[in-house]
Amino acid sequence: MRLTLRQLSVFESVARNLSFTRAAEELHLSQPGVSMQISQLEEAVGLPLFEKLGKKIFLTEAGREMYRYSQTISRQLQEAEEVIESLKGVTRGHLRISVATTVNHFATRALAAFTKAYPGTSFSLDVTNRKSLLEQLAANETDLVIMGRPPEGLEVTADAFMDNPLVVIAPSGHSLFEEFKARPVPLDRIREETFVVREPASGTRIAMERFFSQRGLRLQAGMEMTSNEAIKHAVEAGLGLGIVSIHTIELELETRRLAVLEVEDFPIMRHWYLVQGKGKRLPPVAQAFKEFLHNRVTTFSPAA
């Protein structure tokens, strides 16, 4: 069976997207060019790799087997490239990093400082939700992930590198500031308030619910939001209290649009973790970023 790396690359993209059109866009090829590469590969294999039902395409049994092998070959080639690059030192390289939405502000500062220290490097940053981060880790689609709670059930290594306190936020003129001037707001009083919360799969939401459940309490969730920015806007508008990472509200605290409410047993102390696939050989640029983060984390932290 004679086939080329080009054919495998095109096949891998079509199989992953289950679309000739999206694969063509991803690879910057014409759709007829993609179709030709797949036809040549199927001829070399001697079996059809895709079948079409209506307007959708699906992998055949042979296609599924070939997809597994193409992924293995792709990973091995990437590792070979990374080993060669490591022999050259970190003078260039492209870092693929994905972060939870709570990490966005911190991550952009850290990456700006890193690329200034290593001017020959570049990066792609994906700011997304926890579900997407787990999918990327499982599919080996990113070098590093920064998130609040390491996943269970995935073969990963996780390295805590920074505290991430969760605090209760309110509009600066909220009545609770006047009601509790000299002492923290009791939890029994807090549960009377309506909260604007993240979606159920969010790490912040999970930590929040665990915190109150351990104390036999249940919050009143008035609205669900899919981002911290939306929560901050909703709290500022008076739609409820919120629980967010202290690192996400630097600007709002400076401008006094929001304030941290001192609450009994708060903050909820969490950590940010650097997560990668277990056994994954990081490219030199990713390894350098990990070391850079540990050595200089406080210099570009929003709390610095």
Same domain, residue pair 73 and 15: yes
pLDDT of residue 304: 40
Averaged over 125-153, what is the pLDDT?
Answer: 90
Residue 25 identity (one-letter amino acid): E
Same domain, residue pair 276 and 258: no
90 pLDDT higher than 70: no
301 pLDDT higher than 60: no
pLDDT of residue 89: 59
Averaged over 181-191, what is the pLDDT?
Answer: 90
Same domain, residue pair 277 and 256: no
Same domain, residue pair 202 and 60: no
Averaged over 102-131, what is the pLDDT?
Answer: 89
Averaged over 148-153, what is the pLDDT?
Answer: 84
DSSP for 137-158? HHTT--SEEEESSPPSSS-EEE
CA distances from 43 to 2, 38, 39, 255 (A): 10, 9, 6, 65
263 pLDDT higher than 80: yes
Same domain, residue pair 210 and 234: yes
DSSP for 161-189? EEEEEEEEEEETT-HHHHHTSSSPBPHHH
Tokens 């079509």, residue? 14
Half-sphere exposure of 269 (CA within 13 A, CB side): 4
CA distances from 9 to 23, 190, 297 (A): 10, 55, 38
Residues 204-233 pLDDT 10s: 888 899 999 999 998 888 889 888 889 999
50 pLDDT higher than 50: yes
Range of the domain at 114: 90-162+271-300
Same domain, residue pair 76 and 172: no
CA distances from 12 to 41, 67, 124, 155, 209 (A): 11, 6, 21, 23, 41
Averaged over 85-95, what is the pLDDT?
Answer: 69
Tokens of 24: 């063509």
What proportion of the chain, given as a percentage, has pLDDT over 90? 50
Count of C-beta atoms within a 10 Å radius of residue 102: 27
pTM: 0.62
pLDDT of residue 274: 94
Same domain, residue pair 104 and 67: no
Same domain, residue pair 254 and 266: yes
299 pLDDT higher than 70: no
Round the average pLDDT of the chain to a whole number and report it: 88
Strand partners, 163: 271
Q: How confident is the model at residue 139 (pLDDT cuts 50, 70, 90)?
A: confident
Q: How many domains does the chain have?
A: 3
CATH number for the domain spanning 223: value is 3.40.190.10
139 within 8 A of 226, measured Cβ to Cβ: no
CA distance 90 to 259: 42
